[in-house]
Every structure is written in C-alpha cells, then in structure tokens.
C-alpha cells in the first residue's frame, strides 16, 4: 500500500493550497451548483488519465454527465432505485473488482436522498464505501449539495472523509474553501480562496471574508428543530415564513407578539434593552441571531449592545450613510444556557455558588479554580456546533469574548472584568479546536475571578443572576507579512471629560486611536501612547509640537500567524521597509525637528517615521464619521456611550468602520459643580490640581494610602514593585480602613502593565477607596497620558471613585510634600508583613497627623479644578471667600499639627 503518496489534482493552485492530494483520499465537494463540480472534477480526471492512471466514473444520477466520454475513462452505471442495500452492494462490488489505486468520480450524492427519502441512509452509504476506497489507495471525488442535508448526516460524512471542500459562488466570483484536510497544514489552507481556474487567491481581509461567508452561508450552524420548548416553538413559528412574507406580516398582532417573545428570549427582560430592541431590531434580525446561536439562552449584554448599536446606525438618518461605511459583524453567540449546562455537567455549579456568595477569592486560589474549569467537557451536540463554527471561520483569527447578562448594561459595564481570548486559529482542525475550547473555558472561569466578584459586590450585584453568554467575533483586520491586525482600532466616547484646553467641546466626544489591535487603547501600557482626538478639535494635541514623536505609539499589538500567538512588537518591525497599505494616512516623517506629511506607503525614504494619524484626521472623513456615530448612539440610548471599533482606510482615503462594542456609560459626578474654597491657608492644603475629570465633595477622609513617586521611581527594586499592588489590595480590604473614607495617592499610571511606571493594582485592589490620585511629573512639554478611556478608568467612574491626575510640576497646581514626609506612618501597625517598605508606602491616619481635622476634597468637574485640604468637621466647603492680602487669618485655621517641625 502507498497511503499518503502525493498525487496531482489537475489544478496546480489547488495542489499548493492542499499540499496535493494523497492516495487514500476521499474528497467531498460541497457545491451550490452542479456546474461548479465539473470545474474541479474534469481537471482531476484529465490529469489522472495523462499520468496513466485507471479512472472510473460512477454514474447513478439523472443529471448531465459530470465527465464527458473520453479515451481511457471507464463509465459504470449503478441504479439506486432498488434501495440502499442493493445499491451499496453493487458499488462495493465495483470497487472490489477494480482493485488498488483506481481513481473515482461519483455523481451528485445528494440525489440519492430523492430515491431513499432519508439523509441517514446517504450517510450510511458514505460510511460503508469510503473506508473501503481508502484501504485500496484510491482517490475519489464526491459532490454534495450545500445546505440540503441534516447536521448529523453531514457530520458523519465529514468525519469519514479525508478532504472536505466548499465550492460556491458569491455574485460572479467562485470560491474554494477547504473545511477539512486530513494530516496536512499550511497557514492559508482553511481560508476562502477566489478561484479563477488558474489561481487561488486567499481572502485575508476580515471585511471581505465576512461579506463572502455571510452571503454563502445563510445558516452556518445546524440547529436541531425537534424540541418542544417555547424557545424553539417560537422560532419555528417564525421560520416557517419566507423572508418577503415575514416582512409583509411584521406589523400584524400575531407576528408582533412572537417578535416580542423571541426578543425577550434572546436579549432578556431589561427595560432599556427591550425599548431599543422593539424599536430597532426586525424579525429578520432576531432570526439571524438565532441562526448564529450555539445552544440556547440569551446572548448577553455585550452582544446585544453591539447588535443594537449597529442597527441604530443603519436605521437613523444623519450626515453619514452607514450602509456604505459599516462592515458586517460576522459574529456568533454561545447562549447563556450552555454556561449552566457546562457547570452542572462538570461539577462546578456548587463551586460557583460558593464563590459568588463568599465574594472573596485570592488570585492564587483562583488559579486552582481555573484549572477545574479547564478540565471541563461540553455535550456532544454543542461540540458539533463548535465544529460548524470553526469550519465557517477556517483559519481566520477569532476572539472569544464574555457577554454576561449584566455586562455592558445600563449602569453596569463590567469593563475588563471578564476575559477576552484571542484565537490566532492556526494549526490543524484538532489543534484549533483545543485552543478554542480553552478560550471558552477561561471566559467561563472569569465569571468568578477576584475583580469580577469585587465589582459585583461593590455594585450590589452579589446575588444577581449573572449568566455567562459568549460573543465570538471574527478579528477585524488584514494580513501583512506574517502578522494579522486592523490598521486602526480604538475606543470612542460620546462625551469628553478630558479637556486639556478650554477650546474643546466635551459634548462632541473623544477618541483613543492606535495602529493594530485595540488592546493598546483599552489597557494601560507603559512607555507607549495612544493618539487622543478631541472630536470637536481633532488637530489639537496635549503635547508640545516638539515632543509629539517621543509621546506617540511605538509598539503595536498583532497576531503572529507564524507563532500562533498575540504579540506586542515595535511598529516598524511589523510594518517593514516596504510599508503598509495606506500607511501615509497614519505616519508623518520627522525631519530636522519638524513633522512632515508622508506620501505613499513605503518607509524607505523616511528619516524618522512617527505615528501621528495627521493625514487620517485632516484628509479623510474619519472624524466626521465617528462624530455622527457617537451622536446617533447617544441620542438613541439616552446616555453617554462608550464604543470600541476598528477601521480601514482605502488608497483614496475611503473609510470603513467595524463597530465591535457599545455600552451606555453613566458618569456620576461628571458635571458636578462645587465652589473651591479660596481662603484655605497654605499649610492646610494637601494638593491642588486643575485637570479634574470627575467632580464632587468628599468629606471626612480619615486615611490616606500614599506611595511616594520619587522613592518608587528611584529606589525601589523590581521585585518590590511587583508586590506593591497586592499590599495596596490588603490595605483596601483592611477592616479598620473599610470603616472610614480612604484616599489613595501614588505614581501614575495605576493599573499599568508596566510596574516601572505605576502601581500594578487591579480593580479589586482599589475598589474601596473614595479618591484615587495619580501623580505624574510633566516631562519636557508633555502632559502625561491619563487613565481616561481605559477599562481602569471606567471602573473608577462606575464605582463613584473620584479620579484626579495630579501634575506637581505645573505652576497652577500645588502639592504639600512636607505633610506626607513628616506624617506618622501606620503601615506596620496595619500590615506587619510590610516591614522594610515604610519609605515607599505610607498610611496616614489624618486625625492623628492633624488632631481634630480630616482631609476634604472639593472637585469641580466643570472648570477642572480640585482642592484637597485639612478641614474641621464644621468648616464650610462651598461659596468660601478669599481673604484680602494682609488680612488677619482665623487663628483656628493656623493650628499646629503633629507633622509640623
């Protein structure tokens, strides 16, 4: 036997994609038109005859001949009408008589169902015939009509065959999309390819692939229809109508009632979402969701928010026609019921219940919980739908995202609390499935991670029904060299709280923009900077012109196809010397200290490329599109919105946007107005800042956790910096501090992944503080990047934690360093295990450091000013008047404090 020896398909480009055919291969072509089968079968036969092979055409269907008569081709007719048993026996006899190494072409197998009236007998025939052909070192071609057979029958055929390939038209183009290729692999094998007869061109760009597959695969998941549950009953009642008839009947009472019922089953009973769903989602939209839902249950807040926002943009009139701008989403959903089935079947339900009720788990304990989730298994019917999903995407990168029922809701964003896992999706189908299942399980486990539990407890949601659905999205992007990424990605807010100049209109919003994956826009990464765009004045920057290059993006997040992993790399290493399509819209060239626009995409003629996005902003409609997008969504939601997006720029500056996420964002204190007292003696002022983002008055602050920025930057070794965030977390949860208001102060950026630049604290480490102050020194004309726009900032907003960036170097600010240096340190009394860190971490008990006084903060978000000072309980904090110069001060306000020399 010569199993595995490579043979020629007759199509050189197909040989390249598949790594050739092999002796023993049964090749199933799933076709939308019979003539497409001829396009691949005829070259196969021609090549085999040319190579001197014996070729048999098995003829049993009433359609036209697949292969015309030609010298050397043997045609054998077998009659299927006597039934499955006799037909299978006759075919088996032909194979036995023909012997080893014969090549076969079969007629369209789908027509056997017309004779036998069942898909199961068709699958039985295939399972009987193909192993025998495989044993005899044959290569056999079969045709199967796409979308015509039951899920179970197709699954059995797929599992028995060695090669399964989809062959279909989208408009005038013909596509070849390998679904299964046994024991062979290349990085392009499982992508859709445009087939011209001579060439096969892989489709790398996500928007193009989405459009192709959405058109070609109306029902990519095989959904069982034998349930009597209300869920499937409602679906079947609506699915019985053809799309045109359903559209005509949508206004009737009966159809409206079914629509409302289906919407509640998919999206949930939440009033705000129901209002938007009833207004914007059509029955066709709801049926489309159901056709892409794995299992049953609800799709969760993140998925619902994304779908509703897209429909709002496509429905509401405005300056931008989003039908021309918005890309297809091409997403799938794992229903919330699957989560509970997974928990119950794997003995995890009681564990989740215990953790949810306890609401406290240490990071090291959570690692053991994750391992238990990783060991879990899914039911067979869910696994079959997972296979459908991976067949659909092929080797296109995907992302598995949490979409819990409470997530991205009105008032509860859960920003960054649950996991999102990229699947670069390279390797054999089995390897890709393993990685995909791992991603699903990690997202499920994140429902009980420490940050999520702390957030739920803080928001009063500890006992709420938090079911975890999952949103699976095609990663938006394109392939460039060995990397996959979107040219543009970011977050955009319909309200801009971070105004570095009074010229900025906060009502028009703000954008954080990056090259590459949007992970860099929502996470805090040291040493790198996003492009902040004030929508009202997009060309304004927070940096001095000479410092734009230093405070720009230098690294980008990409999916490395060759290494099958997410990586962070220098921008120019990814782009390469030949440049990137439309790179001139993203980069400027620093020449002799001045930035100049770039023409073309190549880097070879540039002295110092800098990511400024200047031409994107000034020469395209990008900002205008985002302005209209944000305005439409805010008007429909009735709230400030926070969105995530990717974007593409064509060679002539045309813009395409993919909206990935939209959630309402409540801003407590964002517009708070408070009069800053003007008569506070200098020795009582702890700090003053003029870049306040959230406002309000916080009285009676008894404890200040202060991390000295200079000691942290200059004297603290890396191993010590790694534990600072955990120690802050212990103080955050300490019973004595929990009984009072706390303010935390320390080097920005808090929450950064770079411990050299800030405290690596998570939400559960700071959630009990009333105020978080990030202290950063202004460096050579640059206003340091703040938290605004990151997941970390959203945590602070939703928890009503007042966030203040403090820049001690600015002349308009003040910082009383003497108070913090001389105040007694309570650290070791509260945490004896922190011995040796007293110079770095100080816990100031304010009434002890300043008898009879506590700290008070007055922050005015409207004008950006804030003042923190020492105050007695009866001191006024509003409408205070300034003492004239030289006037006598109130003696009570000049009391001596313990920290004074």
Q: Which residues of the chain have pLDDT under 50?
A: 228, 669-671, 779-784, 879-901
Per-residue b or e along 713-744, where b marks 16 or more CB atoms closer than 10 Å to that residue's CB: eeebeeebbeebbebbbebbebeebeeebbbb
Which two three-digit tokens encode residue 889?
């001060």
Q: What is the pLDDT of residue 678?
A: 85
> Within 13 Å, how many C-alpha atoms sit on residue 25's CB side?
27
Q: What is the pLDDT of residue 898?
A: 37
Neighbours of 518 (CB within 10 A): 24
Q: What is the pLDDT of residue 472?
A: 97
Angle of helix 119-135 relative to helix 151-160, nearest 10 degrees?
Answer: 0
Q: Which helix (H) or strand (E) holds 127?
A: helix 119-135
**How confident is the model over 285-322, as pLDDT tens digits?**
998 898 899 998 899 989 999 999 999 999 999 999 99
Q: How far is CA 693 from CA 673, 752, 784, in A?
A: 12, 19, 14
Q: What is the pLDDT of residue 887?
A: 32
**pTM of the shown model:** 0.81
637 CB-contact burial (10 Å; exposed 0-12 / middle 13-18 / buried 19+): buried
Which two three-digit tokens encode residue 484?
């996959």
462 CB-contact burial (10 Å; exposed 0-12 / middle 13-18 / buried 19+): middle
> Within 13 Å, how many C-alpha atoms sit on residue 827's CB side?
19
* Residue pair 535/627 in contact by the 8 Å Cβ criterion: yes
Q: How far is CA 779 from CA 214, 544, 550, 807, in A?
A: 50, 11, 10, 10
**CA atoms of 784 and 790, how far apart (whole Å):** 14
User: Is residue 800 helix, strand or coil?
Assistant: coil
**CA atoms of 188 and 203, how far apart (whole Å):** 9
**CA atoms of 123 and 157, how far apart (whole Å):** 6
Q: What is the pLDDT of residue 790?
A: 64
**CA atoms of 56 and 422, how far apart (whole Å):** 46
Phi, psi of 177 (to 5 degrees): -135, 95
User: Is residue 454 helix, strand or coil?
Assistant: helix
Beta bridge partners of 644: 491, 661
Q: What is the pLDDT of residue 544?
A: 72
Q: What does the radius of gyration of the chain's CA atoms come to, in whole angstroms?
A: 32
Q: Where are the beta strands (DSSP E) in 312-443?
A: 331-334, 398-404, 420-423
Contacts (Cβ under 8 Å, ≥6 apart) of 77: 59, 60
Per-residue b or e along 136-145, where b marks 16 or more CB atoms closer than 10 Å to that residue's CB: bbbbbbbbbb
Q: What is the pLDDT of residue 577?
A: 82
Contacts (Cβ under 8 Å, ≥6 apart) of 721: 712, 755, 756, 760
**CA atoms of 449 and 443, how far apart (whole Å):** 10
CA dihedral 89, 94, 99, 101 (to 10 degrees): -110
Which two three-digit tokens encode residue 196?
């011209």
Phi, psi of 191 (to 5 degrees): -95, 155
Q: Helices then strands (H, E): number in the chain?
A: 32, 37
Contacts (Cβ under 8 Å, ≥6 apart) of 668: 694, 797, 800
Beta bridge partners of 449: none
Q: Which helix (H) or strand (E) holds 745?
A: strand 741-747
Neighbours of 590 (CB within 10 A): 18
User: Is residue 570 helix, strand or coil?
Assistant: strand
Per-residue b or e along 672-698, where b marks 16 or more CB atoms closer than 10 Å to that residue's CB: bebebbeebeebbbbbbbebbbbbbbb
Beta bridge partners of 868: 687, 857
One-letter-per-residue 3-state SS of 658-723:
EEEEEEECCCCCCCCCCCCCCCCCHHHEEEEECCCCCCEEEEEEEEEEEECHHHHHHCCCHHHHHH
Q: What is the pLDDT of residue 524?
A: 60
């Amino acid at each position: 036997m010569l199993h595995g020896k490579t043979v020629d398909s007759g199509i050189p480009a197909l040989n390249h994609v598949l790594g050739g055919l092999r002796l023993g291969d049964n090749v199933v072509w799933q076709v939308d038109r019979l003539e497409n089968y001829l396009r691949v079968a005829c070259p196969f036969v021609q090549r085999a005859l040319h190579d001197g092979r014996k070729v048999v055409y098995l003829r049993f269907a009433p359609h036209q001949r697949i292969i015309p008569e030609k010298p050397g081709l043997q045609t054998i007719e077998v009659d299927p009408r006597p039934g499955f048993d006799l037909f299978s026996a006759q075919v088996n006899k032909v194979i036995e008589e023909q012997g080893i190494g014969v090549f076969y072409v079969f007629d369209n197998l789908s027509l056997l169902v017309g004779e036998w009236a069942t898909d199961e007998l068709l699958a039985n025939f295939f399972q009987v015939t193909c192993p025998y052909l495989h044993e005899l070192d044959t290569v056999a071609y079969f045709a199967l009509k796409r979308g015509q057979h039951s899920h179970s029958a197709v699954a059995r055929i797929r599992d028995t065959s060695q090669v399964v390939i989809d062959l279909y038209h989208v408009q005038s183009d013909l596509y070849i999309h390998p679904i299964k290729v046994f024991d062979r692999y290349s990085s392009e094998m499982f992508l859709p390819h445009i087939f011209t007869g001579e060439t096969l061109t892989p489709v790398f760009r996500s928007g193009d692939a989405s459009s192709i597959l959405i058109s070609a695969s109306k029902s990519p998941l095989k959904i069982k229809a034998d349930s009597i549950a209300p869920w499937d009953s409602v679906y079947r009642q609506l699915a019985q109508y053809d799309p045109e008839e359903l559209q005509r009947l949508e206004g009737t009472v009966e159809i409206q009632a079914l629509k409302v019922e289906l919407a509640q089953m998919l999206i949930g009973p939440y009033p705000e979402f129901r209002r938007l769903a009833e207004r914007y989602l059509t029955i066709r939209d709801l049926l489309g969701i159901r056709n892409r839902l794995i299992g049953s249950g609800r799709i969760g807040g993140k998925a619902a928010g994304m779908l509703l926002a897209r429909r709002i943009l496509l429905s509401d009139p405005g300056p931008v026609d989003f039908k021309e701008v918005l890309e297809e989403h091409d997403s799938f959903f794992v229903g919330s019921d699957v989560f509970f089935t997974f928990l119950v079947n794997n003995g995890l339900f009681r564990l989740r219940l215990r953790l949810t009720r306890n609401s406290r788990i240490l990071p090291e304990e959570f690692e053991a919980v994750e391992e238990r989730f990783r060991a879990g298994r899914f039911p067979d019917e869910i696994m079959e739908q997972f296979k459908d999903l991976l067949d659909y995407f092929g080797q296109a990168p995907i992302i598995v995202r949490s979409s819990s029922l409470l997530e991205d809701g009105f008032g509860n964003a859960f920003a960054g609390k649950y996991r999102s896992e990229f699947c670069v999706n390279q390797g054999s189908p089995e390897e890709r499935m393993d990685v995909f299942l791992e991603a699903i399980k990690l997202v499920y486990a994140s429902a009980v991670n420490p940050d999520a539990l702390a957030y739920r407890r803080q928001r009063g949601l500890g006992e709420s029904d938090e079911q975890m659905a999952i949103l699976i999205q095609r990663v938006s992007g394109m392939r460039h060299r060995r990397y996959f990424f979107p040219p543009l990605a970011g977050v955009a807010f319909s309200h801009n709280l971070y105004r570095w100049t009074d010229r900025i209109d906060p009502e028009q919003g703000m954008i954080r923009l990056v090259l590459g994956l949007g992970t860099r826009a929502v996470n805090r990464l040291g040493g790198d900077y996003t492009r902040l765009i004030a929508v009202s004045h997009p060309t304004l920057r927070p940096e001095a012109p000479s410092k734009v290059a230093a405070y720009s993006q230098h690294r980008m997040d990409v999916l490395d196809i060759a290494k099958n992993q997410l990586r962070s790399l220098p921008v120019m290493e990814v782009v390469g010397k030949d440049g990137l399509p439309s790179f001139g819209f993203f980069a400027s060239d620093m020449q002799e200290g001045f930035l100049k626009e770039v023409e073309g995409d190549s880097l070879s003629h540039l002295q110092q490329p800098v990511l400024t996005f200047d031409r994107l902003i000034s020469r395209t409609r990008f900002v205008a599109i985002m302005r209209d997008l944000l305005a439409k969504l805010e008007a429909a939601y009735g709230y400030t919105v926070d969105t995530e997006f990717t974007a593409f720029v064509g060679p002539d500056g045309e813009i395409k946007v993919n909206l990935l996420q939209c959630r309402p964002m409540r801003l407590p204190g964002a517009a708070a107005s408070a009069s800053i007292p003007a008569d506070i003696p200098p020795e009582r002022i702890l700090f003053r800042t003029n870049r306040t983002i959230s406002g309000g008055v916080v009285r009676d602050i008894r404890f200040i956790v202060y991390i000295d920025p200079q000691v942290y930057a200059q004297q603290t070794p890396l191993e010590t910096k790694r534990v600072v965030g955990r120690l802050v977390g212990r103080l955050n949860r300490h019973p004595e501090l929990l009984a009072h208001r706390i303010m935390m102060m320390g080097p920005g950026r808090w929450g950064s992944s770079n411990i050299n630049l800030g405290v690596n604290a998570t939400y559960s480490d700071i959630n009990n503080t009333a105020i978080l102050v990030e202290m950063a020194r202004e460096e050579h004309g640059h206003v340091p990047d703040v938290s605004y726009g990151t997941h970390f900032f959203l945590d602070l907003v939703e928890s009503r934690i007042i966030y203040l960036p403090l820049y001690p170097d600015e002349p308009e600010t003040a910082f009383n360093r003497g108070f913090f240096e001389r105040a007694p340190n309570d650290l070791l009394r509260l945490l004896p295990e922190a011995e040796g860190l007293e110079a770095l971490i100080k816990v100031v008990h304010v009434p002890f450091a300043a008898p009879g006084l506590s700290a008070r903060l007055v922050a005015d978000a409207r004008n950006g000013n804030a003042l923190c000072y020492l105050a007695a309980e009866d001191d006024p904090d509003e409408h205070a008047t300034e003492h004239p110069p030289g006037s006598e001060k109130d003696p009570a306000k000049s009391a001596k404090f313990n920290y004074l020399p």
